[in-house]
C-alpha cells in the first residue's frame, strides 16, 4: 500500500512538470496537485491546508517568458506527502516543501540549457530529411522535464520520512514558528512581481480602489474581481470608441489604407 | 511545386485538431534558451505541413522556418499556428517570409494579452478563492479549478481552428486594439492585486508598550488606527523596490524574507 502511494506520488510529480509546460490541467497550481496528493495519501484536509498555504505564496509568481520560478507545486506534493506519511503535521510540510521547491529552480535552468541539443539535432535531422527521428527529439525534452520534478521526489519519498523525523526532534520552536511567519510574508513576492510587470504607474488608481475595498470594507475577492471587471469594461469601451473615431478621421483624410501586410 | 496548386484545401478539421492537441501537449516541453518554443511549434505543425508540402525540399524549408526563435503564451500560439498554416496552405513556400514576419511581429502582443489573462489574472483570482478554501481544508475550489482547466484544454484546441479560418484577418484587424484589451485586463488585474496586498500578505506584531498602568498593543493600538494592513503595504513597497534592483533575484528576496521571519520569530517581533 505504501509502495503504491510512493509510486503514485512520484508519477504525479513527474507529470506535474510536463503538464505545466503543455496541457496545464493539473499544472503547478498547489491546490490542484495538493488535492490529488491528498487523494493518494488518504488525508485531504492536511493536504489542502499545505496546498492552500503554498497557493497563497504563489499568487502572482507566474513563469512568464520562460523564466524559472520556485516550484510551489513540487513543494506542495513533497510537503503534503511527508506531513501525512510521518504524521508530523502542517509545519513539517512547509518546512521541507519550501526549500525543495526553491532548489527545483536550479534543475529547471539546467534542463533548459541541456535542451539545446534538441534544437541542434532537429536542425541536423531536418537537413538530412530524416523527419521521423526529427519529430522524436522534442520527446527528450518531455522526459527531461519529467525528471526535473521526478528526481527530487524520488529522493524525498524514499529517504525523506526517516530523515524528517530525526531533523524535527532538533528543531526549536522559534524555527517552526518562523516558518509560519514566513508563510505570511512570502506572498508579498508574487504581489510585488505583479506590480512590476503590470502598468502600475498608469493605473495606480485601481490598485488603491482594490486595497481600500478589501482592507476597509472587507469585500470578498470574487466581488472585488467583479468591480475590477466593471472598471476594465468601461475603460475598454471608451478606448475602443476613441480608436474608432481616430480611424474614421484617418479614413476620411486618406483613402488608401494598408490593411494586409502580406500581398496575395 | 505543381501539386501545391492542385490541392487548394488539403488541411481538414481533423488536421487542425491534431495540430492543436500536439501543441497543447508539447508546448514548452522542448524549451531551450536559444529558440525557446521553436522546437515545440515545429513538432506541432509538422504533420499538417507534410500534407501541404509533398516536395521534400519544400518541407525541409518550411520546417527550418519554424525552427527559428519563437516564444509567446502557449494558448495564443494556437491561434497563430492556425493562421500560419492557412497562409502556407494558400501560398506554399512563397509564404514562408510572411509566415516568419507574422510570427515575430505578433508573438509579443499576443503574449501581452495571454500572459495577463492566462498567467496573471485567472490564476490570481481563482488561486486566491481556492487557496482560502484550501487553508480551511476545503478542496471545492481546487476541484472547480481542475474542471475549468479541462474545459480550457478544449478551448485551446478550438483556437487553432479559429486561427486557421479567420486568424490573419482577426489578428491584423485588431492592431492597436490588442493593447487596449491588454490595458483593460491590467485594470482588473491591479484591482485584484490591491486586494491581495490587504488580504494575502500577513504581517502582524505582538509587541506591546506599557505606559504606567496602561498596556497598549502596537498592532491594535497604533498601527491599525493609522491604516489597516499598514505593515503589509510597507513590506510590499520594499519588495517592489528590491525587484526593481538588478542585484536582487527572486530567490534572494525569498531567502531574505525567510531569514527575516526567523529573526523576528526568535526575538518575538512578528507573529
- Which 8-state DSSP code applies to residue B206? -
Least confident of B93-102, B110-119, B172-181: B172-181
pLDDT for position A259: 47
pLDDT for position B172: 63
**Predicted structure pTM score:** 0.81
- Between CA B186 and CA B121 the distance in angstroms is 8
- Between CA B239 and CA B257 the distance in angstroms is 9
**pLDDT tens-digit map of A254-263:** 555 444 444 4
**pLDDT tens-digit map of B156-178:** 999 999 989 887 676 666 666 77
Is pLDDT above 50 for A16?
yes
A116 CB within 8 Å of a chain B CB: yes
- Between CA B58 and CA A78 the distance in angstroms is 49
Contact residues, chain A, for B197 at CB < 8 Å? 191, 210-211
- Residues forming a β-bridge with B217: B208
Q: Give the closest-approach CA distance of A4 to chain B in angstroms.
A: 23
Tell which of B151, B192, B243, B256 to mutate to test the A interface (max A CBs under 10 Å): B192
Tell which of B67, B113, B189 to mutate to test the A interface (max A CBs under 10 Å): B189
pLDDT for position B176: 64
- Between CA A195 and CA A205 the distance in angstroms is 13
A89 CB within 8 Å of a chain B CB: no
Is pLDDT above 70 for A67?
no
Is pLDDT above 70 for B85?
yes
Average pLDDT over residues A223-252: 86
Q: Give the closest-approach CA distance of B81 to chain A in angstroms.
A: 15
Is pLDDT above 90 for A99?
no
Is pLDDT above 90 for B234?
yes
- Helix or strand holding residue B217 (H, E): strand B214-217
Do the chains contact at B145 and A192, CB–CB below 8 Å?
A: no
pLDDT for position A264: 39
pLDDT for position B111: 83
- Between CA B262 and CA B271 the distance in angstroms is 11
Do the chains contact at A224 and B95, CB–CB below 8 Å?
A: no
**pLDDT tens-digit map of A174-190:** 887 888 788 788 888 88
A176: left (phi over 0), alpha (psi -120 to 50) or beta: alpha
pLDDT for position B60: 93
**Given the C-alpha cell 534558451, which residue does it identify?**
B33
**pLDDT tens-digit map of A74-98:** 999 999 998 898 887 787 788 888 8
| Stretch 137-166 of chain A: residues touching chain B, C-beta under 8 Å | 137-138, 140-142, 145
Amino acid at each position: 500500500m505504501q509502495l503504491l502511494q510512493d509510486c503514485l506520488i512520484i508519477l504525479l510529480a513527474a507529470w506535474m512538470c510536463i503538464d505545466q509546460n503543455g496541457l496545464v490541467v493539473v499544472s503547478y497550481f498547489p491546490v490542484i496537485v495538493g488535492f490529488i496528493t491528498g487523494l493518494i495519501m488518504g488525508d485531504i484536509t492536511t493536504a489542502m491546508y499545505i496546498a492552500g498555504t503554498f497557493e497563497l505564496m504563489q499568487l502572482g509568481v507566474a513563469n512568464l517568458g520562460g523564466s524559472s520560478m520556485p516550484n510551489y507545486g513540487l513543494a506542495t506534493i513533497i510537503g503534503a506527502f511527508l506531513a501525512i506519511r510521518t504524521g508530523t503535521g502542517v509545519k513539517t510540510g512547509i518546512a521541507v516543501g519550501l526549500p525543495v521547491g526553491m532548489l527545483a529552480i536550479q534543475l529547471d535552468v539546467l534542463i533548459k540549457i541541456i535542451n539545446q541539443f534538441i534544437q541542434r539535432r532537429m536542425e541536423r535531422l531536418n537537413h538530412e530529411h530524416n523527419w521521423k527521428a526529427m519529430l522524436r527529439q522534442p520527446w527528450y525534452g518531455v522526459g527531461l522535464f519529467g525528471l526535473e520534478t521526478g528526481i527530487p521526489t524520488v529522493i524525498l519519498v524514499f529517504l525523506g520520512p526517516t530523515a524528517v523525523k530525526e531533523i524535527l526532534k532538533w528543531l526549536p520552536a522559534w524555527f517552526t514558528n518562523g516558518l509560519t511567519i514566513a508563510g505570511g510574508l512570502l506572498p508579498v513576492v508574487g504581489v510585488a512581481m505583479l506590480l512590476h510587470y503590470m502598468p502600475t504607474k498608469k493605473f495606480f488608481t485601481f490598485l488603491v480602489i482594490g486595497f481600500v475595498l478589501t482592507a476597509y470594507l472587507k469585500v470578498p475577492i470574487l466581488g472585488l474581481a467583479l468591480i475590477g471587471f466593471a472598471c476594465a469594461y468601461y475603460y475598454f469601451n471608451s478606448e475602443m470608441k476613441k480608436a474608432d473615431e481616430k480611424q474614421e478621421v484617418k479614413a476620411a483624410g486618406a483613402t488608401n489604407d494598408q490593411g494586409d501586410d502580406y500581398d496575395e | 511545386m505543381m501539386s501545391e496548386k492542385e490541392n487548394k484545401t488539403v488541411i481538414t478539421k481533423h488536421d487542425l485538431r491534431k495540430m492543436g492537441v500536439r501543441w497543447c501537449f508539447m508546448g514548452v516541453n522542448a524549451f531551450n534558451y536559444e529558440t525557446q518554443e521553436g522546437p515545440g511549434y515545429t513538432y506541432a505543425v509538422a504533420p499538417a505541413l507534410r500534407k501541404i508540402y509533398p516536395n521534400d525540399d519544400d518541407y525541409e524549408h518550411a520546417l527550418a522556418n519554424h525552427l527559428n526563435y519563437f516564444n509567446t503564451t502557449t494558448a495564443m500560439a494556437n491561434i497563430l499556428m492556425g493562421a500560419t498554416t492557412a497562409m502556407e496552405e494558400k501560398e506554399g513556400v512563397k509564404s514562408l517570409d510572411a509566415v516568419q514576419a507574422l510570427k515575430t511581429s505578433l508573438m509579443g502582443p499576443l503574449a501581452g494579452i495571454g500572459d495577463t489573462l492566462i498567467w496573471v489574472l485567472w490564476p490570481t483570482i481563482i488561486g486566491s478563492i481556492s487557496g482560502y478554501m484550501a487553508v480551511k481544508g476545503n478542496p471545492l475550489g481546487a476541484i472547480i479549478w481542475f474542471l475549468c482547466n479541462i474545459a480550457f484544454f478544449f478551448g485551446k484546441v478550438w483556437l487553432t481552428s479559429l486561427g486557421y479560418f479567420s486568424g490573419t484577418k482577426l489578428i491584423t484587424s485588431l492592431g492597436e486594439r490588442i493593447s487596449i484589451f491588454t490595458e483593460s485586463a491590467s485594470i482588473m488585474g491591479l484591482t485584484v492585486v490591491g486586494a491581495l496586498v490587504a488580504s494575502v500578505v500577513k504581517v502582524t506584531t505582538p509587541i506591546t508598550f506599557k505606559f504606567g498602568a496602561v498596556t497598549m498593543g502596537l498592532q491594535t493600538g497604533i498601527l491599525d488606527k493609522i491604516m489597516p494592513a499598514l505593515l503589509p503595504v510597507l513590506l510590499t513597497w520594499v519588495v517592489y523596490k528590491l525587484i526593481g534592483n538588478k542585484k536582487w533575484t527572486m530567490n534572494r528576496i525569498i531567502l531574505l524574507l525567510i531569514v527575516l521571519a526567523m529573526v523576528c520569530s526568535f526575538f518575538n517581533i512578528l507573529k
